[in-house]
Amino acid sequence: MAPAPSSTNSAVTLNINGEKHTLTVDHRTTLLDALRERLDLTGTKKGCDQGQCGACTVLLDGRRAVSCLQLAVAAEGREITTIEGVAQGEKLHPVQQAFLDLDGYQCGYCTPGQICSAIAVIEEHAAGWPSAATDDVRPAAAPPPLTPEEIRERMSGNLCRCGAYVSIVQAVARAAGIETEAAQTEGVETEGAAA
Amino acid sequence: MREFTYQRALDVSGAVALLDADPDARFLGGGTNLVDLMKTGVERPAQLVDVRELPLDHIEVTGDGGLRIGATVTNSDLAAHPEVRGRYPALAQAVLAGASGQLRNMATIGGNLLQRTRCGYFADVTKPCNKRVPGSGCPAATGEHHNHAILGASEHCVATHPSDMGVALAAFDAVITYETIDGPGELPLAEFYLPVGDTPHLETALPPGALITGVTLPPAPVAAHSRYRKVRERASYAFAIGSIAAALDARDGVVRDVRLAFGAVASHPWRARTAERALVGAPADAAAFAAAADAELAAAKPLPHNGYKVTLMRNLVVAVLTELAEEAAR
């Protein structure tokens, strides 16, 4: 529905985690603020509010995006997935489980953004997308393996001020079905402690 | 932030008509630069015309073997496209070198070309800036300018253009197509960005209200042997302090064709034509590459705190062309 041209707010219907939410937003409202302040979906975090830290990462039509630079009114019609929507009921998403198992966080503030980003990283890699860490981007070259270097480059839009990067890289690798040497060691210790 | 009306454009002619009727309106693509600038008050549009859903999101091989890239293609889709990666690998590399995965998913090709400088004085509305407020002055000339221009700047503005993609497009003779209320038009990238002179607030030759509809790359066999290298102050997710898009066709140790463009050194992607002219027919070796770089950089006018860029760009030319020459010799 097209808003009246003289108006600076609009009624929008946002499709979030499979549910439709209808609300009236001032056009200046970012998707991030709509989620947190209007819809009580506070899992998505506000860090820099300038598109530089990745704490507000959500999935738009399955692709990761920073919700702080996405106007809510412009998100109408798109499939929005937040951290609240990535698990299947009580069963955590494999990326969530890997972050838990491998301590991919310290304070946890950046974690929802890290997890949403990592979910998309694994899909982008599976689709054959190269990255800035890929030696040869030509299609004739084999798709790059998801090495720690590739994970670090692909996750560089998500800052962690606690510096949990080492275990974040291990968690992303495990969720992708790749075991780094360090994660194997870490995993044995974790299991040993639990047993 | 100033209040604004919002319209979602359904077709190109409708989008152009909306903008033509309102000089205070802006097109909204991915919003990664515009929304940020609206938050800080650098941009204060009264109307946004959302063009993200226009049917301009295709990449096609043209009849002559070039590429046509629609304006709403995202950075991610451009960099992932097999024809881009195969025919113009430096273009895919340049796009991948910029921003983050999240921002590349949002940002569009049209918006990428029109993004504004990351000069800190431009971004801070409490400071003078000739680009933001004509005639107010340029604190960068005597202030913080370690990442400002060494080529083509003026006393009125020393800001650089931040695009990585644009550097590769400059090397490959891209042509920008646009639509206005009076019909379509096109501009070669070399004429798209205006010289700084005493009008740094006028950045492009696009007519008022024009909507970029796409970018056409002419066929360039040399581009299949190309590379983009970016130097920045951290390993990832930062703007360049110097970058280069290079393509080389060398046979029997002699340069047959070469393309060179520099990023983060000027107000626009800098096509290094002087260096290219010096190289065609020259030996494909480090001495010739260095001489060509010196010829290009003879025009450099570094500021007190960015003289390192002259050395950096010289080293980049030699390093990247040497790699391409070694690959050609294999």
| A96-140: pLDDT as tens digits | 999 999 999 999 999 999 999 999 999 999 999 999 999 999 999
Q: Which of B3, B6, B10, B43 to mutate to test the interface with A (most CBs of A within 10 A)?
A: B6
Q: Is residue B178 part of a domain?
A: no
Task: Show which of A66, A85, A104 is a domain's final residue.
Answer: A85
CATH number for the domain spanning B39: value is 3.30.43.10
| Domain identity same for A45 and A104 | no
> By CB neighbour count within 10 A (0-12 exposed, 13-18 middle, 19+ buried), where does B48 fall?
buried
pLDDT at B330: 83
Residue A1: pLDDT over 70: no
Which of A 58-77 lie inside 8 A of B, CB atoms? 60, 63-66, 69-71, 73-74
Cα A93 from Cα A78, distance rounded (Å):
22
| Domain identity same for A101 and A183 | yes
pLDDT at A188: 44
Q: Is residue B206 part of a domain?
A: no
Q: Which of B1, B4, B8 sits opposite A2 (nearest CB)?
A: B8
Cα B34 from Cα B47, distance rounded (Å):
12
| Domain identity same for A49 and A101 | no
Contacts A158 to B, Cβ<8 Å: 100
CA angle A120, A163, A172 (to 5 degrees): 30
pLDDT at A190: 44
Buried b (16+ CB within 10 A) or exposed e, B179-199: bbeeeeeebebeebbeebeee
Closest CA to A119 of A176, A69, A50: A176
Contacts A121 to B, Cβ<8 Å: 101
Q: How far is B227 from chain A (nearest CA, A)?
A: 10
pLDDT tens digits along B204-222:
999 999 999 999 999 999 9
Task: Show which of A34, A61, A85 is a domain's final residue.
Answer: A85
Q: Is the dihedral of CA A8, A10, A15, A16 positive or negative?
A: positive
CATH number for the domain spanning A26: value is 3.10.20.30
Q: Does A53 touch chain B (CB under 8 A)?
A: no
pLDDT tens digits along A37-76:
999 999 999 999 999 999 999 999 999 999 999 999 999 9
Q: Is residue A154 part of a domain?
A: yes
Q: Is residue A133 part of a domain?
A: yes
pLDDT at A179: 75
Q: Which of B3, B82, B237 sits opposite A8 (nearest CB)?
A: B3
DSSP label of A51: S
| Domain identity same for A118 and A188 | yes
| Domain identity same for A80 and A99 | no
Q: What is the 3-state secondary structure (H, E, C) of chain B?
A: CCCCEEEECCCHHHHHHHHHCCCCEEEECCCCCHHHHHHHCCCCCCEEEECCCCCCCCEEECCCCCEEEECCCEHHHHHHCHHHHHHCHHHHHHHHHCCCHHHHHHCEHHHHHHCCCCCHHHHCCCCCCCCCCCCCCCHHHCCCCCCCCCCCCECCECCCCCCCHHHHHHHCCCEEEEEECCEEEEEEHHHHECCCCCCCCCCECCCCCCEEEEEEECCCHHHHCEEEEEECCCCCCCCCCEEEEEEEEEECCEEEEEEEEEECCCCCCEECHHHHHHHCCCECCHHHHHHHHHHHHCCCCCCCCCCHHHHHHHHHHHHHHHHHHHHHHC
Task: Show which of B11, B32, B50 is a domain's final residue.
Answer: B50
pLDDT at A182: 63
Q: Is residue B264 part of a domain?
A: yes
CATH number for the domain spanning B319: value is 3.30.390.50
Q: Is the dihedral of CA B29, B31, B33, B35 positive or negative?
A: positive
Buried b (16+ CB within 10 A) or exposed e, A33-72: bbbbeebebebbbbbebebbbbbbbbbbeebbbbbbbbbb
Please provide the average confidence, as pLDDT, over all residues in chain B: 97
CATH number for the domain spanning A108: value is 1.10.150.120
Q: Which of B35, B97, B101 sits opposite A157 (nearest CB)?
A: B101
Contacts B8 to A, Cβ<8 Å: 2, 74
Task: Show which of A62, A85, A108 is a domain's final residue.
Answer: A85
What is the tally of structural domains in chain A? 2
The length of chain A, given as a count of residues: 195
Q: Is residue A170 part of a domain?
A: yes
**Which residue in chain B is spatially nearest to A48 when comparing CA positions?**
B36
Q: Is residue B137 part of a domain?
A: no
Instruction: Quote the percentage of chain B above a pLDDT of 70.
Output: 100
pTM of the model: 0.96
Looking up tokens 């990666």, which residue turns up? B85
Q: How far is A191 from chain B (nearest CA, A)?
A: 33
| Domain identity same for A137 and A181 | yes
Q: Is residue A105 part of a domain?
A: yes
Segment B180-199 shows an average pLDDT of 97
Q: Is residue A81 part of a domain?
A: yes
Do the Cβ atoms of B5 and A54 come within 8 Å? no
Q: Is residue A3 part of a domain?
A: no
Residue A189: pLDDT over 60: no
**Which residue in chain B is spatially nearest to A130 when comparing CA positions?**
B80
Q: Which of B7, B80, B105 sits opposite A64 (nearest CB)?
A: B105
Do the Cβ atoms of A3 and B6 come within 8 Å? yes
Q: Does A79 touch chain B (CB under 8 A)?
A: no
DSSP label of A50: S
Q: Is residue B78 part of a domain?
A: no
| Domain identity same for A166 and A103 | yes
| Domain identity same for A105 and A181 | yes
Give CA B251 to chain center in angstroms: 30
Q: Is the dihedral of CA B173, B317, B234, B80 positive or negative?
A: positive
Say what angle helices A165-175 and A181-194 make with each other, to 10 degrees. Answer: 90
Do the Cβ atoms of A66 and B97 come within 8 Å? no
Contacts B97 to A, Cβ<8 Å: 132
pLDDT tens digits along B227-241:
999 999 999 999 999
**Which residue in chain A is spatially nearest to B29 when comparing CA positions?**
A74
Q: Which of A129, A146, A150, A160 to mutate to test the interface with B (most CBs of B within 10 A)?
A: A129
| Domain identity same for A188 and A113 | yes
| Domain identity same for A59 and A108 | no
Half-sphere exposure of A96 toward its Cβ, with a 13 Å CA cutoff? 14
Do the Cβ atoms of A132 and B93 come within 8 Å? yes
> By CB neighbour count within 10 A (0-12 exposed, 13-18 middle, 19+ buried), where does A92 fall?
middle
Q: How far is A70 from chain B (nearest CA, A)?
A: 7
Q: How far is B119 from chain A (nearest CA, A)?
A: 15
Task: Show which of B50, B67, B85 is a domain's final residue.
Answer: B50
Q: Is residue A2 part of a domain?
A: no
Residue A19 three-state SS: strand
What is the tally of structural domains in chain B? 2
User: What is the span of the domain harbouring residue A190?
Assistant: 94-194
Cα B106 from Cα A45, distance rounded (Å):
19
User: What is the span of the domain harbouring residue B19?
Assistant: 1-50
pLDDT at B9: 97
| Domain identity same for A61 and A132 | no
Q: Does A94 touch chain B (CB under 8 A)?
A: no
CA angle A15, A21, A24 (to 5 degrees): 115
pLDDT at A142: 87
Contacts A117 to B, Cβ<8 Å: 101-102
A:B CB pairs within 8 Å: 126
| Domain identity same for A182 and A102 | yes
Q: Is residue B96 part of a domain?
A: no
Q: Is residue B194 part of a domain?
A: no
Q: Does A142 touch chain B (CB under 8 A)?
A: no
